[in-house]
């Protein structure tokens, strides 16, 4: 049993950034002005399974697009904190922990870029990032997924946690 596996066993709450985590960080701009993102279906499946198994799933993002909100709602994510300044993401994170009296040692956060640094550098939580995260982010993370953002990184961390807790694929 590794120390990382022990940390995975403690997790009850997943918190994710959107751009660069749920997506590959690309923004597709249409002539209409809409900026859409592409989400990975397997990441979505893992989110649904986590929620069905009683885990909390939340999103903290500076972005605030209706299409993204609709996708998150479709996945069943109720705790969505979007639209604040990038340098205030940590305040949304701490507000969520305080509002719901969450134990930070039971939280896994995944971010990919400098706006996530203030959260990911907190030592109590399990800090994670996709394989293609900024170097500064990788330097402070407890776990770096072998998958890039928008290409299975969310599925990877959820799977790691649910497998460590004996829950993954228990429905098969």
**17 annotated binding-site participant:** yes
Side-chain-side CA neighbours of residue 115 (13 Å):
19
**113 annotated binding-site participant:** no
Angstrom distance (rounded) from CA 126 to CA 103: 12
| Phi, psi for residue 148 in degrees, rounded to 5 | -75, 165
Angstrom distance (rounded) from CA 51 to CA 31: 36
**79 annotated binding-site participant:** no
The sign of the CA dihedral 146, 70, 118, 85 is positive
Give the residue ranges of the annotated binding site.
17, 19, 112
Enumerate the known binding-site residues for substrate: 19
**Annotated binding-site members for Mg(2+):** 17, 112
């Amino acid at each position: 049993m590794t120390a990382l596996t022990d940390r995975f066993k403690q997790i009850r709450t997943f918190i994710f950034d959107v751009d660069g985590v749920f997506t590959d960080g690309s923004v597709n701009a249409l002539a209409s002005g809409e900026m859409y993102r592409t989400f990975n279906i397997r990441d979505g499946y893992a989110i649904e399974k986590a929620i069905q198994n009683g885990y909390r799933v939340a999103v903290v993002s500076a972005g605030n697009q209706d299409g993204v909100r609709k996708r998150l709602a479709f996945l069943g994510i109720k705790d969505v904190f979007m639209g604040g300044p990038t340098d205030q993401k940590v305040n949304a994170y701490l507000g969520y922990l305080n509002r719901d009296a969450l134990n930070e040692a039971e939280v896994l956060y995944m971010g990919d870029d400098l706006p996530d640094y203030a959260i990911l550098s907190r030592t109590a939580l399990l800090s994670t990032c996709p394989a293609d995260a900024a170097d500064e982010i990788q330097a402070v993370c407890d776990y770096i997924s072998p998958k890039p953002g928008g290409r299975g990184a969310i599925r990877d961390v959820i799977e790691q946690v649910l497998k460590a807790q004996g829950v993954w694929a228990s429905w098969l």
